[in-house]
């Protein structure tokens, strides 16, 4: 797009800026054809870098803006006095303090990239992280330049009655010509990526929160008026987050007002702009009849995440974008602990780990693998990854495990106190943890700098004569791009030991049944004395480190751990291992063209789960969920898409046949009408009920189908309605062809006016192999509810098909790959960030058989032959390298 060959930027080249910007005064004149932005900047030389010389001022910009005027200290510059390129504006400097005034002219109505200032529906909004502010005005658009912002917004009063920016509103009034103005002032210095502006015809709900020191904060959530009934859950989540951050971290909110705005067109989930969070509407709007339990929980987590950024991200920000995980890893850790406190801790952990292991491990094993703190990038937008977010959160969790709850609080207090108002690095965070706890995390820092998923190989031996049990732990880490050899990691390995009776034995010095072993060497032994019998180890309890753990458990060992392990996470994990091994055995049978039969131990284990009336329903639901095709794919050296799909479907069918009675009895017991509450006990009941219904659909029986139909028709909440629809779509329905179509069209007629519900309607019909053909995807792209410009629609339809419907996407014809390539090429011109993200499935081409690999590679090469954005250029080139 811009450069012929975009180049990489390196962490090692970091230098502090030549200049600081003390004050930023912005004035936006919003118009239908053009928007004028006047930026007055008070600029000061960075004396630490330059004491005598005055280097020219190089501001970041973008070719989509027009430069209308530049003044330095009130004097207009002529075109020969400055240098303008597609990415920079260079101004001459003659004093160590001066003021610039720059007028840029923008066309937000034509901005489809959803970076900078753009229009969503009828409203104006902004997205500046990471480098979107330079699409609004020329600026030092880097997070270590922090400035005090004042923002004046002028717009048509009838069309845009609401005008918002960061901080407090200090002035408002009419300008006479049907237009009006509001001025906002943010009292906190901030980097430009936290700037936000919203203008539109919006309704809002309002509430208040009293902080621990007794200050009153106004809370507002803005949406288009037809969605105003969907804000209550987000408001409740916000207040809970504010309370939790005071109680758990001692962090209080710092402005008089906190605003959230819902927009339909957004590249990500949400954005933590100071005092004015902007949310993808799918991550904030919910009503029991329109949103599923999963959505309710996602909203709670994202509202918390963005709120928590006010301290971990905004008050203390990143020095440069290589440090992204400083704010994201820490904030994900914070929001996951919040969710654990609000709901079931074990279930939250299972969900997080499941996601990490199936998606982040795949990233770590692919061509885009990078350390949690990358050392170079071409386009920073490509580094908002599972590695930076989720693995980054695991690093923070490991520190938490190493220093304990109180030690961690001391460390976070010190971090916030030391660095409030600063732009800092991952080392600064770790140093605060070290200093507060007098420990050395030097070796631990490798988690930030080495990519790849470490592997722990564990063996054990028992010496009956000396009553000694020994665990032998060996660690290794596969090579990743640019890193052939890895140094040993410092790995907290939480373990327990079980007796043959199923007792969790005391092993710690205070009789604890769980201890944390600190693995630091490539190979290390841990000795347990006075063991009267050979114990069975329960390893990596609570998933104490983001590693792959190998230990040669027999299937009977796994069944034993499923019953007796007192670590809930490991009970689930044993169940997953059992199911994974069983399915992978069947995959080998399919490949060898052998007849299939299911290991009856799996059936009996499932039966035990279903029949245990005292069991925690949430745990049973998690355990009954078979490992995903994504996760199973990760376990194979060469991914056999069809065999994985067939084996997993076979297991589902066999389980349903053998367990039809207990499945039905649980289903009927839970299918009782009660008022909807998005609380964990109720969520668990609905989840278990709907999992049972899903299995029952495998029976292809009219009686079972009518259970689902009845549930669909009588549902008073979206969780049950959507689950019923999904069960019918993804179930076997030879006996009732056309049923799925009938329900889909009823659902469409009921919800066609609700954009977020229609996203789910698109996804549900293309996510499974029984219905979700490529043909259907193409048809739906022509459907009136689909909108090619809207990222949610693209993700729900094309994204879901390519990332979740593995059997159809990876059809041997290669049509799925060609389809994705065509769309990447088209989309790159419109929205490069989304295009680069949607490319992910093709990047994994080396993991497949030769035929698929070649087809995927050809699709990548076809993309590569185009003029590309930096975003897509980087992903395509790294994938083919
Ligand atoms: N910083 C946002 C978050 O994690 C994510 C985001 C990144 C949103 C870039 C928009 C653009 O909360
Ligand atoms: Zn974040």
Which of 271, 310, 330 is the pocket-test mutation for ligand 1 (most atoms within 8 Å of CB)? 271
Among the options 306, 337, 363, 434, which is catalytic?
306
Nearest Cα residue to atom 12 of ligand 1: 271
Please list all protein residues whose beta carbon sits less than 5 angstroms from ligand 2, which is an ion: 328, 331
**What is the mean pLDDT of each successive set of 10 residues along the chain, which is 881 residues long?**
74 98 99 98 96 94 98 98 98 97 98 98 98 98 99 98 98 97 98 99 98 98 98 98 99 98 98 99 98 98 99 99 99 99 97 98 98 98 98 99 97 99 99 98 98 98 98 98 98 98 95 97 97 98 98 98 97 98 98 97 96 94 98 97 98 98 98 94 98 97 96 98 97 86 97 98 97 97 98 98 98 98 98 98 98 98 98 98 95
Q: Which ligand is nearest to the CA of 283?
A: 1
CB 123 within 8 A of CB 202: yes
DSSP state of 584: H
Q: Which ligand is nearest to the CA of 130?
A: 1
| CB neighbour class for 254 (10 Å; exposed up to 12, middle 13-18, buried from 19) | middle
Q: Which ligand is nearest to the CA of 268?
A: 1
Taking CA atoms, 172 is separated from 160, 183, 197, in Å, by 14, 6, 15
Number of the ligand 1 atom closest to the C-alpha atom of 132: 11
CA 378–ligand 2 middle distance (angstroms): 21
pLDDT, residue 5, reads 75
Which of 130, 131, 270, 334 is the pocket-test mutation for ligand 1 (most atoms within 8 Å of CB)? 270
Residue 859 CB-half CA count within 13 A:
27
Q: Which ligand is nearest to the CA of 127?
A: 1
CA 306–ligand 2 middle distance (angstroms): 6
pLDDT, residue 584, reads 98
Which of 304, 384, 390 is the pocket-test mutation for ligand 1 (most atoms within 8 Å of CB)? 384
Nearest Cα residue to atom 8 of ligand 1: 271
pLDDT, residue 1, reads 42
Nearest Cα residue to atom 3 of ligand 1: 271
Number of the ligand 1 atom closest to the C-alpha atom of 305: 12
- For 143, phi then psi, to 5°, come to -70, -15
CA 431–ligand 2 middle distance (angstroms): 22
CB 384 within 8 A of CB 375: no
- Closest C-alpha to 88, from 21, 14, 2, 211: 2
CA 811–ligand 2 middle distance (angstroms): 36
CA 583–ligand 1 middle distance (angstroms): 37
Write the DSSP string, 611-660: H-TTS-HHHHHHHHSPPPHHHHHHT-SSB-HHHHHHHHHHHHHHHHHHTH
Nearest Cα residue to atom 5 of ligand 1: 271
CA 645–ligand 2 middle distance (angstroms): 34
Taking CA atoms, 649 is separated from 695, 723, 727, in Å, by 10, 18, 14
Q: Which ligand is nearest to the CA of 837?
A: 1
CA 710–ligand 1 middle distance (angstroms): 41
| CB neighbour class for 729 (10 Å; exposed up to 12, middle 13-18, buried from 19) | buried
CA 434–ligand 2 middle distance (angstroms): 24
CA 280–ligand 1 middle distance (angstroms): 11
Q: How far apart are CA 718 and CA 836, in angstroms?
A: 32
Number of the ligand 1 atom closest to the C-alpha atom of 267: 10
pLDDT, residue 4, reads 56
Q: How far apart are CA 612 and CA 620, in angstroms?
A: 9
Q: Which ligand is nearest to the CA of 269?
A: 1
Number of the ligand 1 atom closest to the C-alpha atom of 328: 4
Across 198-224, b (16+ Cβ under 10 Å) vs e yields: bbbebebbebebeeeeeeebebbbbbb
Nearest Cα residue to atom 7 of ligand 1: 129
Residue 526: how many other CB atoms lie within 10 Å? 17
CA 577–ligand 1 middle distance (angstroms): 34
Q: Cα angle at 350 between 528 and 616, to 5 degrees?
A: 95
pLDDT, residue 604, reads 96
- Residue 212, SS3 per DSSP: coil
Q: Whole-model pTM?
A: 0.98
Q: Sign of torsion, CA 737 743 748 749?
A: positive
Report the pocket of ligand 1 as residue ranges, CB < 6 Å.
Answer: 127, 129, 267-268, 270-272, 305-306, 328, 384
- Residue 422, SS3 per DSSP: coil
- Closest C-alpha to 120, from 783, 789, 837, 762: 789
CA 270–ligand 1 middle distance (angstroms): 6
Whether 394 is catalytic? no
CB 454 within 8 A of CB 521: no
CA 40–ligand 2 middle distance (angstroms): 29
Which of 129, 191, 277, 386 is the pocket-test mutation for ligand 1 (most atoms within 8 Å of CB)? 129
Number of the ligand 1 atom closest to the C-alpha atom of 130: 9
Which of 120, 195, 268, 335 is the pocket-test mutation for ligand 1 (most atoms within 8 Å of CB)? 268
Q: Which ligand is nearest to the CA of 326?
A: 2
Residue 872 CB-half CA count within 13 A:
28
Nearest Cα residue to atom 11 of ligand 1: 129
CA 256–ligand 1 middle distance (angstroms): 23
Nearest Cα residue to atom 9 of ligand 1: 129
- Closest C-alpha to 159, from 197, 110, 124: 124
Number of the ligand 1 atom closest to the C-alpha atom of 389: 4
CA 302–ligand 2 middle distance (angstroms): 8
Q: Which ligand is nearest to the CA of 266?
A: 1
Nearest Cα residue to atom 6 of ligand 1: 271
Which of 272, 309, 386 is the pocket-test mutation for ligand 1 (most atoms within 8 Å of CB)? 272
Nearest Cα residue to atom 1 of ligand 1: 271
Computed on alpha carbons and rounded to an integer, the radius of gyration of the chain in Å comes to 28
Across 552-562, b (16+ Cβ under 10 Å) vs e yields: ebebebbbbbb
Write the DSSP string, 51-64: SS--PPEEEE--TT
- Residue 450, SS3 per DSSP: coil
Write the DSSP string, 95-111: SSEEEEEEEEEE-GGG-
Number of the ligand 1 atom closest to the C-alpha atom of 306: 12
């Amino acid at each position: 797009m811009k450069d012929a060959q975009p180049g990489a930027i390196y962490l090692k080249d970091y230098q502090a800026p030549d200049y600081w910007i003390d004050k930023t005064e912005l004035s936006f004149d919003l118009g239908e054809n053009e928007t004028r932005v006047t930026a007055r900047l008070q600029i000061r030389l960075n004396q630490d870098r330059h004491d005598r010389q005055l280097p020219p001022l190089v501001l970041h910009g973008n070719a989509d803006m027009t430069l209308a005027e530049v003044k330095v200290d009130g004097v207009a510059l002529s075109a020969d006095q400055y240098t303008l390129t597609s990415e920079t504006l260079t101004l001459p400097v003659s004093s160590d303090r001066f003021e610039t005034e720059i007028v840029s002219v923008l066309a937000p109505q034509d901005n489809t990239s959803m970076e900078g200032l753009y229009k969503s529906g009828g409203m104006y909004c902004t997205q500046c992280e990471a480098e979107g502010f330079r699409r609004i005005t020329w600026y030092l658009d880097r997070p270590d330049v922090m400035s005090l912002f004042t923002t004046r917004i002028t717009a048509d009063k009838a069309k845009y009655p609401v005008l918002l920016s960061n901080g407090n509103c200090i002035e408002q009034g009419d300008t006479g010509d049907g237009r009006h103005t509001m001025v906002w002032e943010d009292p906190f210095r901030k980097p430009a990526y936290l700037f936000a502006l919203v203008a539109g015809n919006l309704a809002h709900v309002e509430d208040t929160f009293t902080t621990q020191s007794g200050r009153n904060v106004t809370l507002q959530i803005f949406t288009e008026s037809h969605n105003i009934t969907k804000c209550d859950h987000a408001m409740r989540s916000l207040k809970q987050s504010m309370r939790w951050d005071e109680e758990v971290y001692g962090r209080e909110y710092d402005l008089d007002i906190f605003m959230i705005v819902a927009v339909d067109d957004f590249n990500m989930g949400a954005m933590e702009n100071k005092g004015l969070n902007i949310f993808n509407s799918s991550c904030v709007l919910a009503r029991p009849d329109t949103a599923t339990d999963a959505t309710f929980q996602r909203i709670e987590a994202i509202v918390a995440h963005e709120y928590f950024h006010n301290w971990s991200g905004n008050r203390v920000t990143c020095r440069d974008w290589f440090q992204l995980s400083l704010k994201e890893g820490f904030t994900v850790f914070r929001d996951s602990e919040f969710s654990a406190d609000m709901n079931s801790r074990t279930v939250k952990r299972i969900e997080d780990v499941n996601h990490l292991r199936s998606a982040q491990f795949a990233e770590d094993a692919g061509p885009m693998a990078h350390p949690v703190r990358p050392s170079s990038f071409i386009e920073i937008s490509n580094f908002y990854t599972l590695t930076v977010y989720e693995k980054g959160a695991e690093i923070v969790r490991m520190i938490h495990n190493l220093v304990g709850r109180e030690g961690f609080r001391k460390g976070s207090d010190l971090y916030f106190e030391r660095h409030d108002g600063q732009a800092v690095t991952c080392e600064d965070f770790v140093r605060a943890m070290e200093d507060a706890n007098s420990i050395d995390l030097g070796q631990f820092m490798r988690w930030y700098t080495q990519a790849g998923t470490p592997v722990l190989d564990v063996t054990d031996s028992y010496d009956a004569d000396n009553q000694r049990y020994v665990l032998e732990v060996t660690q290794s880490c596969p090579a990743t791009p640019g890193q052939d050899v890895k140094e040993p990691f410092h790995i907290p390995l939480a373990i327990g030991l079980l007796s043959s009776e199923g007792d969790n034995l005391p092993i710690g010095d205070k009789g604890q049944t769980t201890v944390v072993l600190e693995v630091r060497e490539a190979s290390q032994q841990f000795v347990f004395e006075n063991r009267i019998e050979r114990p069975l180890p329960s390893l990596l309890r609570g998933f104490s480190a983001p590693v792959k753990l190998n230990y040669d458990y027999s299937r009977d060992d796994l069944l034993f751990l499923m019953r007796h392990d007192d670590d809930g996470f490991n009970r689930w994990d044993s169940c997953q291992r059992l199911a994974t091994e069983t399915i992978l055995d069947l995959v080998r049978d399919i490949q060898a063209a052998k007849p299939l039969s299911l290991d009856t131990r799996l059936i009996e284990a499932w039966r035990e789960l279903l029949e245990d009336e005292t069991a925690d329903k949430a745990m049973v639901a998690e355990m009954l969920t078979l490992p995903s095709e994504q996760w199973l794919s990760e376990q194979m050296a060469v991914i056999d898409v069809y065999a994985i799909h067939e084996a997993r479907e076979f297991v589902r069918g066999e389980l349903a046949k053998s367990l039809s009675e207990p499945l039905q009895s649980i289903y009927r017991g839970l299918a009782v009408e009660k008022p909807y509450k998005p609380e964990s006990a109720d969520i668990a009941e609905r989840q278990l009920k709907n999992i049972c219904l899903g299995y029952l659909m495998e029976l292809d029986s009219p009686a079972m189908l009518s259970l689902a139909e009845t549930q669909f028709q009588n549902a008073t909440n979206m969780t049950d309605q959507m689950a019923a629809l999904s069960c019918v779509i993804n179930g076997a329905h030879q006996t009732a062809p056309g049923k799925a179509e009938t329900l889909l069209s009823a659902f469409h007629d009921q919800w066609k006016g609700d954009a977020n519900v229609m996203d789910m309607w698109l996804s549900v019909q293309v996510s499974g192999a029984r219905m979700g053909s490529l043909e259907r995807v193409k048809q739906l792209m022509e459907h009136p509810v689909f909108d090619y410009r809207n990222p949610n629609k693209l993700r729900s339809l094309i994204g879901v098909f390519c990332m979740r419907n593995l059997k159809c996407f990876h059809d041997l014809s290669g049509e799925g790959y060609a389809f994705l390539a065509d769309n990447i090429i088209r989309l790159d011109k419109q929205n490069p960030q989304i295009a680069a993200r949607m490319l992910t499935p093709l990047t994994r081409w080396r993991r497949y058989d030769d035929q698929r690999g070649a087809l995927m590679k050809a699709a990548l090469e076809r993309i590569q032959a185009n003029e590309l954005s930096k975003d897509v250029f980087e992903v395509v080139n790294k994938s083919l390298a």
